[in-house]
Every structure is written in structure tokens, then in C-alpha cells.
A and B are shown apart, each in its own frame.
Chain A
Amino acid sequence: MSQEKVTLETARELGLLPEEFEMIKNYLGRVPNYTELSIYSVMWSEHASYKNSIKWLKTLPRKGSAILAEAGTENAGLVDIGDGMACAFKIESHNHPCAVEPYQGAATGVGGINRDIFTMGARPVAQLNSLRFGNISLDRTRWLMKGVVKGIGDYGNAFGIPVLGGEVFFNDSFNTNPLVNAMSVGLVPKDGVVSAVSKGAGNPIYIVGSATGKDGIHGATFASANITEDSAEDIPSIQVGDPFQEKILLEASLETIKTKALVGMQDMGAAGIICSTSEMSEKGGHGMRIDLDKVPLRQQNMEAWEILLSESQERMLMVVHKGREKDVEDVLNKWDINYAIIGEVTEGDTLEFYYRGKLEAKVPASSLVLGGGAPIYEREYHEPAYLSKYKEFNIDKVSEPTDLVEVAKFMVGHPNIASKRWVYEQYDTMIGTGNMTTNFPSDAGVYNLKGTNKALAMTVDCNSRYVKANPKVGTMIAVSEAARNISCTGAKPLAITNCLNFGNPYKPEVYWQFVEAIKGMGEACIKFDAPVTGGNVSFYNQSSIKGKEEAVYPSPVIGMIGLLENKNHQTTLAFKEKGHMIYLIGKAQNDIASSEYLYSYVGIKESPAPYFNLDEEYAVQNALLELIGMNLIQSAHDVSDGGLFIALFESALPRNLGFDITTDAEIRSDAFLFGEAQGRVVVSVSPSRETQFIDYMVSNKIPFTALGHVTKSEVRIDDNSYGFISDLRQIYDTSIEQKINE
């Protein structure tokens, strides 16, 4: 191995710490060469190794009767949904690439998360996106938003997956560093699952799909550093997506699985060939001998480390049972997809990479991976100083607005509340003929499990404002809101995946947010019996602008799936007809803390998380599911962003109906209408079921309030007109597109 001698300085340049350099020397019993050092630098990067988060992630509840693949063991979580079927699902971030190249960054994010699903043998059937941008009045935000949305659309639309849900949130803390999280949900027969494992000495190793180029080299390392003013210079670290190739790779991979000739399969994502070879080998307790000359390249003059680290997209590593090569190659030839045998499985634990006749790197697979030799750290943390100001908030010092109609119109048009149609109409939401929410809108996406009486519900949720105000409670709310959205469709929460977007973990105040978020998540997941099946951690989401570092609002995004056991109980958020009664399940509170109203209309940015009680929340959702099961309610919509008024408004929209309600004299009108206290759901009840509904609520001691009734088209509150639904709709529908095109 004749390569230039590396020094501690070289290690530092590659993002490794001095103690990590020492660890590497210990594992190898010698000084690594440059190729090997590069290997460790990406495999031990935050992005690939979870070195600063794994200790806390392991405290999350990860077991459950329906869990088929425990967190961290496969490329995505796997949950039993009955009828011999399993659901594979996962969420992942692509924040850093999107900050410098939004179109490709978002496109390859969609590509990557879908490969994680089909590498397990599951066919991706639905996509969700959780997007966070800065102030919409900034040119940069508009550029990022246009690029990200087009990137997601172009890739997913061509690949052929419907978007079933998502969220878009604007806040100044994301001005430089947007958050782009993509979730994919796939279906697989339980006996058709493929593992990401390599074993059986002598078995050939195939690389399948796109040729390898210099794109995305050190992408994992790039994702593990702050976004700075110089980040645009890292553009070569960003991958380029080809959805056509991905579609072919999907079909060819799934058809290859049917041959039963595969030992294991893993896609090439972050850290490319080195990541797939080492993770598969470690899992199977074997080694590999790889000849890098055999890897199809799209560029000349690539060095060994570049081939190993390249994050070129749409590639798959397949380990094939020796003697079954022809069966696999027949399928790959049918799909005209490129492939090459690049090596074979060996006894032992060592990965050997040869290039141009020389041994370029020789490393123990286990030393590279999470759970093996990768470093694990516990970082220091302490409560941030900023919170003292949040705790000083006092509602009595906020005067009540004189014109509630004006507030209502402001809220309806606020980008965090207004219709996101400018975004979602650019996504194919109906391909696959499984989206049950196109014509029956509901709080969560619902996907038809054809041929059964069941459907899958899915959602992504996180209110970053609440998490900033109180990371623990804010994250409990994120889990609870996800569960509430699932419950509002009539489905029962099954499991979650998470995308943990935080700032620099080396900052004790940021790390404290992370630790508190994990604690809150664990507690809420246990309550809802929705274990964590995996996900992704994205640190370093902070911007260094003119020397001043600012972390994004902490955003532990929860992706949840639920099971609707009986399709006939699918419940929508839409009021059905004039004359139906409107009830609030859960208690109204004299609370405006951390509401969009307080933050954006009043202008007070610092206040605690809104009212929240986990037990009450659970009781409300449980009651909701029972009411739906007894066919006692016509619609259900949770009270969240924008408060009760917005929930009522959104329920009225689909059928162009209005509503007439009265507020509670005991509670401030602004808190009643726009406060965001948790654990509340707006339902409508037909007059014929009203008695039964009330009987149920009373006998089960669930707090509820009669609000009023559904009207033909006017919105009236306390006998004041708030206008017609069509006028409010105009503001709601066009607000975002107007702001983007300003």
C-alpha cells in the first residue's frame, strides 16, 4: 500500500478528531493510508455513525408486538400490518444539500429514502415531506422553496410515488439552513423481506445501477458540518438524481428478489460503496475482497478513495448466491440496467479494496460501523439561557385585540396556516390509485390496502416553535399531534420514525434541546404504544453568518403510521351538511402560549409551550376512536396551528359550508379562537346521533363543549359575521402563491 503518509493534520482536514485518529491507528495496528483515512472520516462522520446521538437514541422505546425489524437493524423500520403484509417506512433529512443546491438536494433526498424502502424488498407506495423554510419575503427563501418543491416533484412524479401528506413551516431561523425531510412508506409480503446482509465466502458481489462518478464525495462529511457562507464551494459534494434510473432500479431489484438468488442487498446512500460493503459485511460476520477496477465509472482518473466514497445515486449492492448469477443477470438484462461483479465475500472480517493491481485499503468491517468500532460520545449539555425569557411570559400583559375579524383574516392568510396548494399541486398525489384522501380530505394521509378491508394512515408532524419553547413538551406534542391526526382518520397509531433536526451538538445548549426532545419523545411513544422504528439525525443545522452562529429551531419531526382496521370507518375533516352540530372534544384553555397568533400577530416570540397534558390527550384520542367506531360523528379535525377558528374553517372548506358558534365567556376570546392548547378535536354530529354522542361523552367523563352548528355558507361567531366561506377561501388559497410571486 504505497500511498502518501498521512498525519494528524490530514485527519483533521478530513474532519476527524485527534482521539479518533488514535483509535484508527489502534484498530489497524499501524498508521492508515489516505484511502483508509478517508474511509474512516466518512464512516465515522456524524451522518453515518450517529456518534453523538446513539447513546440517547437507544433510550427510546423500540419494541412492540408489531415490530418486525428493530430500529437500527435494517435500512428502514418494518411493522406487521396483518394479512401477511408488512409496512416498511422511514424518514430522512437532506437539509445540507438543499441549502446550497435545492433542486438536486431535494430530488436526491426523495431518491435516497425510497431506495431505503425498496432495498428491503418493499414497494414504495406513499411519500410525505416535512419542509421548513425561512421568511417567505426573502428572495433566498423563494429560491430555496421553488427549487426544493420542484426537486421533490420532478423526482417523485417520474419515479411514480404519490405524496400523501406533509407540512411546510416558515420561520426566520431557517433563513440560511432549510430543513427538507422526506418520508417513504412501502409494502412488502412478510416472507419477501430482504436483509442488508453479506455472508457465504465465495458469493459474488454485484454493483447495479448508475455508473460511479465524482459527485457527492464526502457528502456525509459535508452533512456533518455547519452551513457557512462558503458552503456553496462544497457543491461538488452534492449528488445528482436520475428518477428514471431509480424507477428501473426499483423494478429490477424487486424482480431480482423474486428469483430468491439474493443473499442480501443494500442501496448506496451516504458514504457510497464503503458504507454498503462495511455494513453488510459486519452484519453477516464476513469480509469482502473488492476490485475497484470493476466498478463502472462515469468519469476518468478517479482515485480509489473517490470510488469508495462517491455518493452517485441510484446504485445498489447485491450479494448473490454463487451459482445463481444467471438468474439475477437475466432480470438485470431485461431491464437494460448496468451491473458488474466487483468482488466476492471472504471469510473473516476484513474488507480489502484493490485498485490498479494494488491493495489500496485493508480495514476490519466492524471497526467502521455503528455498533462496532465507531466512536460513541456523550456530549455536555445544559439548559439554554434563552429559556428564562420564555418563562417570564404572562398572558395578562397581552391586551385582547379589538377586531377579531381582522385577526381571523390575518391568520387565514398566514403562510404557516394558508393552503399549501402551491406546493402540493406540483406533486403527483394520486398515482398508484391508493390515495383515499383526494376526495375525502383528512388530518392524515390514508392509503388503500387493496384487496383488504384495511387502510394505512400516515402523517408527519412537528411544531418547531413549541420545541424551541420547551424541547421535551414540544416533542411530546409532536408525537401526540401525529397520533391525533392518525386518530382523526379513524386509524390507530402503530409506530413512528423520526427525523431529528438540531444545531451543532458540540454546543451544550443545543445538545440539551436534543436530550430533552428524546426524553419527551420516549414518554409520548410509550403512552401511545407507538415504538420508534428508526429514522435519522441531522445535526449542524445552523448558520454561520458574518461570524455569528445561530441554530435552527429544534425540529424533531415525527413520521407516524397507523392502521385503519375497517375502511368503512374512514373519517374526514369535512363538515357534511348544514344543521349538523359542532362539538369540541377536550377542554378549551385560557392559553395563547407559543401560538401562531401570539408569535406572528401579536409579535411576542418568546413564550412557553402551549397547554399540554399527555393523559388528557390520550383519553381524547381514545374517545375519538370509539366514537368513530360507533358511527357517532360525521367529521373530525384536530385543533392545532391557528387554534379552534382555523380548525373550524378548515372543516367548513371542502363543502363550502359555514359555521355559527359561540365562545366561552370564561375564556379570553383570542385564546378561545386562536390559542393552541393541545388535546382538542372538532367534531360534527348529525342531529339523529346527538343524544347518543352526549351519552357517550358524559358516561366516559370526556370533557366536551357544544360550539354551535354548521351553516350554509356564512361564518358567524357570537352573532358577529366573519364573512362568507368563499371570501375567506380566497385569502387562504392564494396567500402563498401571492407571496412567492411578489
Chain B
Amino acid sequence: MSKKEVLMGNHATSYGVQLARTQVIAAYPITPQTQIVEELSEICARGDLDAKFIKVESEHSAMAATIAASKAGARAFTATSSQGLALMHELLFWAAYGRCPIVLCNVNRAMAPGWSIWSDQTDSLAQRDTGWIQIYCETNQEVLDNMIMAFKLAETVNLPVMVVYDAFILSHTYEPVEIPDISEVDKFLPPFKPKYKLDPSAPYTFDPLCTPDNYMEFRHIMEEAHEGTKKAYLDVAKDFSKRFKRKYGILELIDAEDADILLVTSGSMTSTTRVAVQQLRKQGEKVGICKLRMFRPFPTEALKDAIGNLNGGHRIEKIAVLDRNISHGGGGIWSKEIKGALFGMSTAPKVFSYHLGLGGRDITPDTIKEAYEHVKNNDQPKETVWIGLKR
């Protein structure tokens, strides 16, 4: 029987990893992630999860250990944040290019300096070219569910998955979460059985020298795997919803059917945006939300379909992309991706870009409404607008 409990986001992760019968966990503590592995170490110590818990001396080693475990055929997990993820950078390529279906939980924390422990997506978005799948979560329920789905997805497409959510706003916030029964999870997620693994009795060489004769082909094969990931996620989510009655997609449209303007969100800011949109709708504003769950692979077709096919082709005039991140010299990262995705589409809406909530600056319904007022009252997008900036 599933049960409902009041859980912090970090423990939703721990229980998701436990329910997935993860076999190897290697991690190094870093705020705001630490509670994830603290709880997992307790779970392992109690004997409630038959996993090898490896304490390591750095995040670089944590990723190295999970790669090795994955190559040996184990279901492997690690968690980190911010500078910890940055320290893994080199090995993130080894995991993805080596086609290791590892699951990593990254709790979004701003990059330093200014030394900060608060939420900001720049840490994970900066890893966009490492070949990892990236999934962003809005609620603690999404965190737990996507943790379980991440293993199934990873093992289906042989790529590592990063499940991402905001520091404190989810990681340290308690809210009701339904925890599925492990027997049901077992039916959804069978044991990991890789086609090839490190085994002295049947030896293979992994990740050897790759000459110019073959390197491009490896990249092409992996790019096809990424493209296939979008459908694979939908299949995994469909199976999940059949068993657990909760639906997930690559993106989600909220109040979009008759909207003239869409606010594009990711992560926990979507919740507060729901509140703002509800208030705006009461005032007669035709505004909706496009919540993006997947960043890599980028859901280009799904986004075009969603925006182009509303209410039988109803055209969205403008979209406002809300970026809790920055690529200095380049602007908001989601915004750039979306502009690229919609380029050349004949009915493409005008794309307005906003920075907000950087380094954990509180996002309130008024923050969202300020962005909405700006997009509504301007005909053409110019430079990226900073909401709530002190001057």
C-alpha cells in the first residue's frame, strides 16, 4: 500500500532512491544536498536498502565511483549541488559518453563567489553539453516520482539522468508526498541488467582510444539516443501513470488554451507562477503557463507543437521566459534555448526574456506579475529584463 507523508524534498529523493533498490551510492556532503545522503546512509545502516554506501573524499571521486559501479552492472546514484557538480564536470562526460545509466540528484545552488547556498539553476544548466539528460521538478511529489522514473529512463536509453530541483524551496520544505509501495515499484522498475558489464569471467574493454575513424560515429549514435529519450520519457511516464495515477510529460501547459501570453517556467517557480496566473485571470488577463520539465534533450518539437496547436491553431502572441540563471554575456539559458528552438517557425511568438530569483532572491506572485506587465506592455523584446534588481 502506498502511504502519504509530510516530507522534505531531500528525503523524497532518499526514498525514491531506496524504492529503486539502488545498489551503489557514493557522495560527498554539500549544502543543500547533504540530507539526501545522510538519510540514505541511515537507510543503508538499518539494512533497509541492500546498497554499498561509499564515502569519498570529493565530488570528483563520487562520480568516478558511480561510473565504476555502473560499468560493473550496478544501479548507481549520487547527489550534489553547485561547486560540487562543477568539480564533477570532467567525469560527467565520462559517465554520459561512456553510456552509464547513473542517476544524479542536483539540488540547484548558486555558483560562488559571492558565496551562496541559495537557489539558482546556473550550476546544472552549465552542464548542458556533458550529454546528461536533465529533468526539473516543481514539487516534492515530482521529485520522488521522477527519481524512480529516472532510473528506468536511464537504463532504457543508456544515458545518465540528472534530476534537478531548487535549494530550500523544495529541498528543505515539507509537504505531503505519496510514497508508493516498493512491491509496485518493483513491477515498474525491474533489476538493472546491462548488456555489457565489467566481468573478469567475460572480459571487455570499455572506453578505449577512439581514433578519428570512429569518434564521430560514437557522437552520432549518442545523439540518436538523446533524440530517442523524448519518446522514451513519455513511455516511462505513461507506464508510471498507469501504475501510480500521476501523469508526467516533457512539458506541461496550464491555462494555455485561450492565452495570448504564456509564461515559460521551470522548477519550483512554476508553483508561485500558478498563483500569479490565477490572480491575473481573475482580472481578465489571458495568460497561461508553459512549464518545461526536460532541458536535455531539449524538447524542441514538443514546444513547437504545444505553442502552435493550442485550441485548433490559436496563436500565442508573446512568451515570457523566466530564467533563474545566467550565462554571462549570453543571457538567460532557457531563453536562449527556446529562441533557438522556435527560430524559423512561421507562427513563432515573440520571445521576451527575464532574469529573476538569482541566488535565491525570493520569487513572489508580484515578481511574476511584474514580468507579465512588462511583456504585456511592450511590443518588441529588446534586451533581457532583470526583475527586482536594486539600482
Chain A bound to chain B? no
